[in-house]
């Protein structure tokens, strides 16, 4: 089955076909995904002018480690609607396309800046969550770690703050806040796969948040080919072998179809 490309302009069709051919001939790929792959699932991004969360809130006041330490209840109240949106969101065609390409052996690892778990729910196996996850929580008192399943429903549906069953302190979702270090082992693994890959795909990330924005440079230093699919410009656009300024939920399934349904 051939991908339906007829509705697209000729330059986009050609870019999709070149991307599929490059991925097919190269293999050993790594993907970096950002908010742009989850916005089609209804999850708001943080940085888009006018619509991003940080255009309405000061991140240092609501989403920094200092703010959480002094007023954890305030953070959890602010975070509640976003957590509810994430819990009810479903993977979109871009997530499924990447899972299919991973299963087919074209990509070995997905590095994601997102905390929503949609890659795993779509079937991806090797996912590095460099900005943390909502799937677990850590006690700010005794530092025990808990799976979120037994707490998240009460938090989302009944606004019940998650508390440690042993010491009673607030449980912090294992998402990375401002002022907080990235998870060390996850970050080291991300650096390793970037140093070893042959093709690096940026999907739905504007590459504005460091240190994650430096990962493609590690791949380029290893002579990897760079493909960027993103609505807005990135600082690495001039280095990209293929650049497609479109919605990843539209483009990735078409690339996947060309690779897998031949």
Q: Could you give the CA distance from residue 262 to residue 259 in angstroms, rounded to a whole number?
A: 7
Tokens found for residue 31: 């993907």
For residues 4 and 16, which has the higher predicted lDDT (pLDDT)? Answer: 16
Instruction: Write down the catalytic residue from 131, 158, 231, 261.
Output: 131
Domain residue ranges of the chain, discontinuous segments joined by +: 1-43+92-131+182-262, 45-88+134-175
Nearest C-alpha neighbor of 235 from the set 206, 199, 195: 206
pLDDT tens for residues 197-249? 999 999 999 999 999 999 999 999 999 999 999 999 999 999 999 999 999 99
Residue 1 pLDDT grade (very low, low, confident, very high; cuts 50, 70, 90) = very low
Residue 51 pLDDT grade (very low, low, confident, very high; cuts 50, 70, 90) = very low
For residue 55, the model assigns a pLDDT of 42
pLDDT tens for residues 61-104? 667 888 888 888 888 888 888 889 998 999 999 999 999 999 99
Q: Is 158 one of the catalytic residues?
A: no
Pick 45-88+134-175's CATH classification: 3.30.2130.10, 3.30.1600.10, 3.30.460.80, 3.40.120.10. Answer: 3.30.1600.10
Residue 194 pLDDT grade (very low, low, confident, very high; cuts 50, 70, 90) = very high
State the pTM of this model: 0.91
Pairing type for strands 29-33 and 132-139 reads unpaired
Pick 1-43+92-131+182-262's CATH classification: 3.30.70.1730, 3.40.225.10, 3.60.15.10, 3.40.50.1220. Answer: 3.40.50.1220
Choice among 49-63, 86-100, 161-175 with the minimum mean pLDDT: 49-63
Percent over 70 (pLDDT), the chain: 92
User: DSSP characters for 111-180?
Assistant: EES--S-HHHHHT---EEETTEEEEEEEETTT--EEETHHHHHHHHHH-PPPB-TTT-PBEEEEEPPBT-
For residue 8, the model assigns a pLDDT of 82
Residue 50 pLDDT grade (very low, low, confident, very high; cuts 50, 70, 90) = very low
pLDDT above 70 for 3 = no
**Are the C-beta atoms of residues 204 and 228 closer than 8 Å to each other?**
no
């Amino acid at each position: 089955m051939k991908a339906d490309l007829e509705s697209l302009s000729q330059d986009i069709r050609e870019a999709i076909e070149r991307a599929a051919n490059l991925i097919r001939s190269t293999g050993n790929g790594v993907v970096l995904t950002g908010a742009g792959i989850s916005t089609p699932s209804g999850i708001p991004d943080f940085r888009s002018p006018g619509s991003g969360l940080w255009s309405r809130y000061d991140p240092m006041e609501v989403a920094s480690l200092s703010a959480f330490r002094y007023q954890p209840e305030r953070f959890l109240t602010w975070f509640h609607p976003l957590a509810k949106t994430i819990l009810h969101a479903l993977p979109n065609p871009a997530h499924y396309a990447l899972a299919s390409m991973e299963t087919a052996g074209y990509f070995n690892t997905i590095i994601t800046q997102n905390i929503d778990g949609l890659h795993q729910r779509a079937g991806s196996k090797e996912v590095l969550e460099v900005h943390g996850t909502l799937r677990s929580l850590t006690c700010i008192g005794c530092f025990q770690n808990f799976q979120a399943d037994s707490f998240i429903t009460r938090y989302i549906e009944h606004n019940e703050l998650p508390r440690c069953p042993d010491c009673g302190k607030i449980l912090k979702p294992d998402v990375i806040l401002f002022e907080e270090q990235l998870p060390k082992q996850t970050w080291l693994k991300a650096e390793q796969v970037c140093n070893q890959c042959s093709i690096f795909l940026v999907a739905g990330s504007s590459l504005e948040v460091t240190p994650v924005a430096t990962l493609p440079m590690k791949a380029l230093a290893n002579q990897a080919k760079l493909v960027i699919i993103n609505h807005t410009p990135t600082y690495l656009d001039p280095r990209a072998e293929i650049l497609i300024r479109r919605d990843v939920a539209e483009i990735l399934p078409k690339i996947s179809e060309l690779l897998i349904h031949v």
